Structure formats: C-alpha cells, structure tokens
Structure 1
Amino acid sequence: MKRRNIIRSAVLAFTAAALLVAQPLTAAEPSITMAFVPQENPDKLLGDIEQITAYLSKETGVPVKGFVTSDHAAAVEALRNGDADISFMGALPSVIAKHRIGAEPILLEVYRGKPTYRGRVFVRRDSAIETLADLKGKTIAFADPISESGYLFPLKTFVDEGLLEKGADPKGFFGEVYFAGGYQQAIQAMANGLVDAAGVSQYADLLLTPDQQAEIRWIAESEQIPSHTVIARKGLDDDLKTRFIAAMMKLNEPDYRVYLKYVYGPDGYVVADNSAFTNLEALARDYGFID
C-alpha cells in the first residue's frame, strides 16, 4: 500500500503549502533572512544564529538575521512566502522545495572530504537487537518525516532487506514510529531507553555525550546521499545570492573555519551541483514526495 499515513500526510502538507503563489518581498533596503531547522537543541541553535548572522552581515554588507523553524516543512513554507531568503535544510526537503516552489540549492555541506553522507539505524549497545529484522514490533524514533537521513534513507534499509514494501506504512513492521523533531532528539530518545532504535544521520551520535556514545552502536547504514544543503528562495536578488555564497565559501579558509560550528558543524561547503541530487530525486518520486 503506497504513501500511507505519515508519508501521505507529509506530502499533502508540503504540497498544500506549495500550491500558493509566492509574493515578492518589499523591503525598503537589501537584507537577508535565514531559516534554520532544529536538527539539534533549539536553545543552542539560537546562540549559533547570533554568531553566524553577525559574521554574514559583516561579509555581505547587508543586514542578515535568522530564526528557527519548527521543522523542514515550515522552512520551505518560509521560503515560499518570502519570510526567509535562505534556509539550511536536508537534501530531501531541498529537492521538494526545488520541484514545488522553484527554490534553488546553492551549497552543499562537506564532511570528511566529500559532500555526501549516510543514514544509519542506531541501537543501544546493551540491547539484544543485532539486525534490522530484530526490530520487528519494536519502537523507533526518526528525526523528521521530510528528512533524507533522518527518515527516508534509514527506512530504505528496511526495504532493501525485504522487511518493508517500498512506500508502505512503517507501522506495519514497527510497534510504534515516532518523529522526534531532530537528530539530537531522536538519538537521545534511543540512548535514554525511550525507544529501541533511532533512524538518523551517521553523524548524529556526535550530538551525544562521550559516555552516551560509548553506550550505542549502529546496525545498518544506507547508501551515500547528498549532504545537507543551503537553499535560496525563488526570485532572490542575484547580487545578494552572490554575496551570500562568497561569504559562506570563505568559511573554508583557515582564518574563518571557527564559524563552521555555528552552521551545524560541517567541515566546509561546496557549490551545489544539480547532478548530485539525481538518485535522491528518483527515490523521492518513488515515495510520492515529488511528481
């Protein structure tokens, strides 16, 4: 049964927002507003936003401000209606935003030398769970229903193992499925024993304390997927976009790398190449996220 329950709800909510026509900004002077998705502790993120917007304001020469959205769908809605010019988000929501509202992926995060990473399924080290099949009837926490490494690709590992039909309601396999609102929240729920497993980014364990990291392990990982993106709304002034990209690429330089910890902590950035999203777009079509 295709696109049931959570997947269907996520797609319908996303599509409903996208059907509206974006209105142009009418600001008296150039500025940039950024939307941040809470992939970690929102309180920490607020402090990070203050640091990175101060840097970007200086480098771009225009006022830059930021705010935290409730989730990926809210970030795309902010781009659609002009409340945000730029957003940091996962590759899947950026693909949806590109197809639904004409947004443009402009940058990709780099981790360990490449702009790709994997989704993983984590469990506690003291758990008897050794394989994906052992999670039958168990509980799992994902980050967000519109997330590639925090939902779609970890879920795909179960499909690849023949445990789930592509597009089927995951509740047909798991006892309960939860969406925690971010990587840190999902993996914390697992580490604290609130759920049996977490489907998140391969780097989500870095959001735990060293003691917690020693108490968990991963039992499956996905294929390589595009890393998180920086995406611009349709119609953003080309000069502002150019200034913003130049300022972000400057973070690759030794003297400015300290600011990377204020934008989710990647190793750097590369300019986005549309070909990097080909496989993800095909999977998004399989699950009904895009036409």
Structure 2
Amino acid sequence: MHWRHILLLLCCFVLLPIAGCGDQPAPLKVDLSEREKVSPGSHQPVITYAYLPQFSHTVSFERHQRLVRYLSEATGLNIQQVFPETFHEHMLMLDQGKIDISYANPFVYSMTAEQSGARVFAKIIEVTGEAAFGGLIITRRDNPDIQTIADCRGKRWIAVDRFSAGGYLFGLGTFLDHGLRPEDFSQIVFAPGPGGKQESVILGIYAGRYDVGTVREGALELLADRIDLAQIRILARTPRYPGWNYAARPGLAKEVVDAVRAAMFALDYENPAHREILEKAALRGIIAAKPEDFDAVRDLIRRAGLH
C-alpha cells in the first residue's frame, strides 16, 4: 500500500473519536457568585458538664444522662457530659476551661474556688431531703481488733481520694476529733484507678486488705447485689456538711450560667417526669447556693492542714 494511503487511514482513526463527541451535552456553566449562606447557629458550641468521678464512668453516665438531656432541651444549649479520669484531673480540666459546668463535692469546690475562681451557683438536696451529707467509717464486722474509733490507731486506712469529701475529709475530721492524726495510722491508701473509687474502698474492706475505710453516705447500697453487706460494719458516721454543688468555670458567659440555673431550679419533684430525672441522679432537688454556704467545709480543710 502506498505510504500516502496509510497516512490517510491513520488520520481517519484519529478523527473518529473526536467526531463521536458531538453527542455529549454542552459544558455546564457554574456561577461562583451564587453562594449559600450558613446560619451562625447551625454549629452550637459544646457546653461541657462533668460529674466528679467518685463512681465508675458507667454509674456517672447512667445517673446524669437524663439530667444533661433535660438541661440541653430546656436551655437550647448543646450540653454534653465529659468524664475526667480522677478527682485531680477534674480539678485541672476545670482550671483549664475544659469543664464548663462542674458537679462536685464541697471539698473540690472549695479548692477550685480558691485556686481558679470557680463560681458556685447551685447545690443539691440529697435523697434524705437535706442540702447536706456525711461520711461513713467502715470495717469488716468480724474484725476483732476494731470496736471503737480509738482502735483504728496503727491500722491500715483506705480512703476514696485525697480530694474526696465524704470518702476522706469528713472521716479525717472525725478521726481528729478523737485524737487521731494521719501519722497515727500504719498506712493511708487512696483507692487506685479512674472512677469507681467508692466501690474500691468497700471491696478493699470486704476482702480484708485494709482494716478501716471511709466512704460517703449511700455508697454501700451500690454494692448490695455484689457483696454481703452484712459483713460490713459502720463504725461511725461523720458530722454532716454542706453538700454537692454546681460551679461554673471562670469566664463562662453569665447568660449560659443563668439559663442552666433556671432550668435546674425549674425541676419539680412533684412532677412525675422531673422526679424520674432527679431520682436517677440520686438527688431530690437543686436550689440556689452562695460561697459562704461552704464555710464549714473551708474551716475543716484548714483544721486538717489541707489548704
């Protein structure tokens, strides 16, 4: 075949696909000047809510998930529960602005108010009907060496946490009232691990690893289905002090605190829907609080040399 014929055939093969493109739709012109506006409210900032980890994270979540959901719906705020691993981490996160609303014992509140300026705005009414609570000093019932508080001298003491109110501070105050100082114990141990510390103290006493333990009121009932509580003896009940409370981190907007406070105060125990929320959270109501309500706790902290 002549080379000119070959060249002509090659040109035809090359032009065929180009000719076929005539059936394709015309290019779509895009007008970049037309833009959809996004509403500023479509991405709400998260308001973090944390329960001091005295119990396991599972217990903390189950107790407060309905309350957190109620607060979100009542205020229109995006409130979400976060879970610090330890008491110290809870206090640090509050100081760093990672916790907006702190639900904590009066010991932790008093310390964070002094160190970082946390602002208390509410306190709870316990299931007992009082805005106060106490601690328990416990032993094994069959421990023959401990019959009175004086018998705790030289023994092994397990406490919840060095920042626990009912699980350490209140018990320490009772020991001081009876002439026992920390150095009078052969050992003071704080429950290890994240969360679940009240349970750990009770189990440590039940197993006989420690002689005496301190927990808050109501903690024993959490283990009623796991151990024989008849083997645990309440050696003493501590005096009762101002209870658990809500504090806002420094700098949290006043309108946010006002909205959360109003929603909390609107909870009515006589309302069946509200009662379910409150009982699940192991409280009976939420009322107003001011810093001076916790002066008795501050006095105990100073007397114990923990400030």
State whether TM-score is above 0.5: yes
Query: Matches of 1:252 and 1:188 in 2, distance apart?
Result: 36
TM-score (norm: length of structure 2): 0.77
- CA contact 2:136–2:236 (8 Å) conserved in 1: yes
Query: Matches of 2:130 and 2:58 in 1, distance apart?
Result: 29
1:1-291 map, 5 Å: 29-111=44-126, 112-128=128-144, 129-164=146-181, 170=182, 172-180=183-191, 182-209=197-224, 212-253=228-269, 254=271, 255-263=273-281, 265-290=282-307
- CA contact 1:40–1:185 (8 Å) conserved in 2: no
Deviation at 1:30, TM superposition (A): 4.4
Query: Matches of 2:125 and 2:98 in 1, distance apart?
Result: 27
- The superposition leaves residues 2-24 of structure 1 with CA deviations (integer Å, 9 ceiling, x where unpaired) of xxxxxxxxxxxxxxxxxxxxxxx
Which secondary structure state, in structure 2, belongs to the residue aligned with residue 158 of structure 1?
A: helix
Unaligned runs of 5+ in 2: 1-42
- CA contact 1:72–1:89 (8 Å) conserved in 2: no
- CA contact 1:35–1:78 (8 Å) conserved in 2: no
Which secondary structure state, in structure 2, belongs to the residue aligned with residue 82 of structure 1?
A: coil
Unaligned runs of 5+ in 1: 1-27, 165-169
What is the aligned length?
A: 256
Change (3 A) 1:70 1:130: same
Deviation at 1:177, TM superposition (A): 1.5
- CA contact 1:49–1:67 (8 Å) conserved in 2: no
- The superposition leaves residues 173-229 of structure 1 with CA deviations (integer Å, 9 ceiling, x where unpaired) of 222211115222212221233322211112221222165332222112222211111
Query: Matches of 1:261 and 1:48 in 2, distance apart?
Result: 9
Query: Matches of 1:185 and 1:191 in 2, distance apart?
Result: 10
TM-score (norm: length of structure 1): 0.81
Sequence identity percentage: 29
Change (3 A) 1:251 1:126: farther
